[in-house]
Structure 1
Amino acid sequence: MSEQSLQLVHEFTYRVACGPPHEVGVGPYGSRQYFAMTGGTVEGLRLKGNLLGAGSDWMLTGPDGLMRMDVRVQIETDDGAILCAHYFGPCEANETLRRAVTACVPTEFADQSIRSHWVLETGDLRYAWVNQTVFVGEGRLLPAGPGILGFEHRVYRLS
């Protein structure tokens, strides 16, 4: 039996602009905030496009203080395919990130821990490979413009 090693291969960079948070309040699972995804891009060798229509993050902060992303967006590729994307994972709301959000300035990837698991789905045969691929990402704050909250994620496929 041969031993296989898993490798991460950069698949695309995703940049997204977010609207201001809407406080849902404290519920049975923690404190919930809703963020509208107002625009974004996907840039990679095999996958390029823009966000299509409305997307949202239903961010949940648990009693442990950890924020958990729960984002769904749609991507239209530069050649007209439609993909649904769902990404989720923990976000460390440390002091560096809190200050950067308040000032709307970028962070570096190492400044905080924003990790995500991505599920992509499409019926377009040109992109059928995304339906069978495991994706993970790391994120950072990257404002989408003056006073506009935004994030950048480097997304990798498990190979």
Structure 2
Amino acid sequence: MPLPEPVLTFAFEARVEVAEPLRIGRGPHEELWFTPITGGTVAGPRLNGAVLPYGGDWSTTRGEETELDARYLLRAGDGAVIDIRNRGVWKAGAGVEDRLRAGGHVDEAEYYYRTSPVFSTDAPAHAWLTSTVFAGMAREEDGRVCIRFFALD
């Protein structure tokens, strides 16, 4: 019996403002960093609001791959607070990272920056967030981390 192909539907984009990352360190083969989240916006067909200035992103880099573990809060346009736990992976070749650090434009197809968010809220209008599986596609833009969230239908 054939299985249905997954369909991703754009739900919203979070444009997350961040402060300077703090190097925590850990060992000779990996580095642990913390990046504070300071605010931002949420806009899209399914959710609009703000990123609240609470939480942050813990990232562990091993070689050319970085494991991400972010936790922060969103406030929907109707005032509801939504918790997000967003895990992901960043990887790119050294040349791509050098171009990004230099402030140049790098096409998103040249690196892998994907997330797997889970949302929590008791707001009835936003219960769909807690019962839907999402995939996130992220990029850095003008000092922000921009994440497009897609619902897996």
Determine if the TM-score, normalized by the shorter chain, exceeds 0.5. Answer: yes
2:92–2:110 CA contact under 8 A, matched in 1: no
> Shift of the alpha carbon at 1:82?
0.6
SS of 1:129's equivalent?
A: helix
Partner of 1:54: 54
The 1:87/1:98 distance shift into structure 2, 3 A limit, reads farther
**Which string of whole-angstrom CA distances, capped at 9 and with x for unpartnered residues, describes residues 111-147 of structure 1?**
311011010110101111111110101111101xxxx
SS of 2:97's equivalent?
A: helix
TM-score between the two structures when normalised by the length of structure 2: 0.89
SS of 1:80's equivalent?
A: coil
* Gap runs ≥5 in structure 2: none
Partner of 1:124: 123
Report % sequence identity: 30
Q: Which has the higher strand share?
A: 2
SS of 1:97's equivalent?
A: helix
Counterpart CA distance in 1 for 2:91 and 2:73 is: 25
Counterpart CA distance in 2 for 1:104 and 1:86 is: 28
Describe how 1:108-147 pairs up with structure 2 within 5 A: 108-143=107-142
The 1:153/1:19 distance shift into structure 2, 3 A limit, reads same
Deviates more, 1:82-91 or 1:22-31: 22-31
Instruction: Report whether the alignment pairs 1:155 with 2:153.
Output: no
Counterpart CA distance in 2 for 1:140 and 1:46 is: 20
1:105–1:141 CA contact under 8 A, matched in 2: no
TM-score between the two structures when normalised by the length of structure 1: 0.86
The AA in structure 2 aligned to 1:151 is V
* Number of residue pairs matched by the alignment: 152
2:134–2:152 CA contact under 8 A, matched in 1: yes
The 1:40/1:29 distance shift into structure 2, 3 A limit, reads farther
2:14–2:51 CA contact under 8 A, matched in 1: no
The 1:126/1:61 distance shift into structure 2, 3 A limit, reads same
Partner of 1:8: 8
The alignment's C-alpha RMSD in Å is 2.0
Counterpart CA distance in 2 for 1:150 and 1:48 is: 17
